[in-house]
Amino acid sequence: MTGLAIGSNYSRANNIRTVDEETPSKKNVIWVVSDQHRAQAIEYMGDTNLKTPNLNRLASEGVTFMNAYSGCPWSSPFRGSLLTGRYPHNTVYRTPQHLDVSLPLISDVFNDEGYITAYFGKWHLFGHNYRAFVPKEERGRFDVWVAYENNNSQYDSWVHGHDLWGRNDSIADSEKLKGYETDVLIDKAISFINRISKDTPFFLVISVQPPHDPYVAPQTYMEKRDKEKIVLRKNVPPIKRIENKTKEDLLGYYAQIENLDYNIGRLYKALKEKNILDDTNIIYFSDHGDCHGSHGYIRKSSPWQESIRIPCIFRPAGVDVKNHISQAMFNHVDISATTLGLCGIKVPLWMYGTDYSNHVLGKKCNEKEEPDAVLLQHIYPKNFECLDRPWRGIVTKDGWKYVVIKDQPIMLFNLKEDPYELNNMVYLASPEVKIKKKELSIKLQSMLNNVGDSFIVTE
């Protein structure tokens, strides 16, 4: 079978699709989802430690949300919110955790709109931290699902699943990827694109483990890096053991990102060769960041900017973008809503996110009606080299960050004047600070109440 045409006549019960010649032209969507890629670690964002020509190109042809945040910087909560458009406290709030299969997903919306839906790579919503067989009813109702629950081993990665061309859904059909995970998943995604009829709209998710630890990349990317030339962020403490650990990790981290960048270039080439590049919305983002020594912390699950800020680029299909930067307060629950808006699909009421597609399409935006802050939630303590208790917080459009744990605030930063978070004002006994804490406490509690989070903010 070389191509599959799709129209509105389709029976999901027996996987039969037929062509409907009156089906209007629809734009394709590709999500490229990385794991643990912080917003700061891209060449065009000012990081001199790496080269990312394809991400640079994506940004130059699209819109970067400069204030994009992972509202819960942890794998499974982010993924649950991503697919449902809901906040973690009423979907998935810890890693690992099982996603309730009865919840509606963005894949359901695209299915109903006549798209072929496909998912390749990391899933992490079945409730396991290691390799586990995900039964078909737990795969998000994607037409094609060739993925894994969790691997964390780039050269020993296994996938299983089902597709439209004979792959079944049994454990016996599992397959070890022959090569580096990102490379082979992109191979599979390109194969999927090439097997679909040019006139068939698709929603494709490519979810890769890199640049998550272990920080390993193909040798050609690793060997050109020099540990001593790595420039650390200004908020990494000048303590030898922290600096050494951070530089050692960043050797592989940057190599992984450059490999991912190369593979995004391969996607570009495949779409161009099939002559569907201008019919395809390409969206790149990560599930959370990585502290890499900033403030002495590593990895995610802490409220530092390196952990919660994520790259988020929307390259719209066939649109000449006028403004390549958006300052909208973009949270992880907004990804699905904005994706649907980009396709001209009405955002369902069960999604909590804001549709920022007007920012991408260059249309008039009513910023007064848009959120002026993002809500941060870490509901379950991770207990591993991060803030070891539940926390809540907000980042406001005018640059204030406020974070609390049970019964007390712990962070207050003015990010406009202090982007590296070197001056925590939360315990300063000054009238100005007390007024600001009161204001932000009220705002945070209001946002929590609005989404149904029962956490109580105490000044």
Residues 30 and 136 occupy one common structural domain: yes
Q: Give residue 416's domain range.
A: 390-451
Residues 169 and 105 occupy one common structural domain: yes
Q: Which two tokens stand for residue 343?
A: 């396709």
pLDDT, mean of residues 427-440: 95
Task: Output the pLDDT for position 55.
Answer: 98
Summarize pLDDT for 73-85 with one digit per residue, the tens: 999 999 999 999 9
Give the model's confidence band at 52: pLDDT under 50 very low, under 70 low, under 90 confident, else very high: very high
pLDDT, mean of residues 154-179: 89
Give the model's confidence band at 387: pLDDT under 50 very low, under 70 low, under 90 confident, else very high: confident
Would 7 be classed as within a structural domain?
A: no
Q: Write down which residue in 320, 338, 369 finishes a domain.
A: 369
User: Is pLDDT of 159 > 70?
Assistant: yes
CATH code at position 396: 3.30.1120.10
Sign of CA dihedral 45, 50, 51, 54: negative
CATH code at position 195: 3.40.720.10
Query: SS3 breakdown of the chain: % helix, strand, coil, rounded to 5?
Result: 30, 20, 50
Summarize pLDDT for 408-433 with one digit per residue, the tens: 999 999 999 999 999 999 999 999 99
Task: Output the pLDDT for position 20.
Answer: 38
Task: Output the pLDDT for position 384.
Answer: 74
Would 43 be classed as within a structural domain?
A: yes
Summarize pLDDT for 106-120 with one digit per residue, the tens: 999 999 999 999 999
Residues 350 and 396 occupy one common structural domain: no
Q: What percent of the chain has pLDDT over 90?
A: 87
Would 6 be classed as within a structural domain?
A: no
Summarize pLDDT for 183-195 with one digit per residue, the tens: 999 999 999 999 9
Would 20 be classed as within a structural domain?
A: no
Task: Output the pLDDT for position 10.
Answer: 28
Q: Which two tokens stand for residue 33?
A: 């989802």
Residues 438 and 296 occupy one common structural domain: no
Summarize pLDDT for 243-258 with one digit per residue, the tens: 999 999 999 999 999 9
**Dihedral in degrees, nearest 10, Cα atoms 269, 274, 277, 281:** -110
Q: Distance between CA atoms of 310 and 45, rounded to whole angstroms?
A: 11
Biggest CA-to-CA distance, the chain: 71
Would 15 be classed as within a structural domain?
A: no
Q: Are 288 and 70 in contact (CB under 8 A)?
A: yes
Residue 307: which residues within 8 A CB-CB, separation 6 or more?
38, 70, 73, 288, 289, 290, 291, 297, 299, 300, 301, 386
Task: Output the pLDDT for position 205.
Answer: 98
Residues 212 and 305 occupy one common structural domain: yes
Q: Write down which residue in 336, 369, 402 finishes a domain.
A: 369
Give the model's confidence band at 170: pLDDT under 50 very low, under 70 low, under 90 confident, else very high: confident
Give the model's confidence band at 381: pLDDT under 50 very low, under 70 low, under 90 confident, else very high: confident
Number of domains in the chain: 2
Give the model's confidence band at 452: pLDDT under 50 very low, under 70 low, under 90 confident, else very high: very high
Q: Are 340 and 350 in contact (CB under 8 A)?
A: no
Residues 422 and 309 occupy one common structural domain: no
User: Is pLDDT of 24 > 50?
Assistant: no
Q: Distance between CA atoms of 88 and 347, rounded to whole angstroms?
A: 19
> How many residues can be counted in the chain?
459
Does 170 or 341 have the greater pLDDT score? 341
Residues 356 and 401 occupy one common structural domain: no
**Distances from the Cα of 290 to the Cαs of 54, 106, 224, 353, 364, in angstroms?**
21, 27, 22, 24, 35
Residues 330 and 402 occupy one common structural domain: no
Residues 288 and 431 occupy one common structural domain: no
Task: Output the pLDDT for position 459.
Answer: 82
Residues 278 and 397 occupy one common structural domain: no
Task: Output the pLDDT for position 110.
Answer: 98
pLDDT, mean of residues 252-270: 98
Question: 2-6, 267-271, 343-347, 441-445 — which is least confidently predicted?
Answer: 2-6
Would 381 be classed as within a structural domain?
A: no
Kindly write down the DSSP assignment for every residue of 324-343, as one continuous string: -EEEEEEETTHHHHHHHHHT
| Cβ burial, residue 178 (10 Å; 0-12/13-18/19+) | exposed
pTM of the model: 0.94
User: Is pLDDT of 202 > 50?
Assistant: yes
Task: Output the pLDDT for position 382.
Answer: 81
pLDDT, mean of residues 196-201: 92
Q: Distance between CA atoms of 336 and 417, rounded to whole angstroms?
A: 32
Residues 348 and 438 occupy one common structural domain: no
Query: Rounded mean pLDDT of the chain?
Result: 92
Would 383 be classed as within a structural domain?
A: no
Residues 397 and 272 occupy one common structural domain: no
Highest mean pLDDT among 6-15, 19-28, 338-347, 379-388: 338-347
Q: Distance between CA atoms of 181 and 259, rounded to whole angstroms?
A: 11
Q: Write down which residue in 320, 340, 369 finishes a domain.
A: 369
Would 62 be classed as within a structural domain?
A: yes
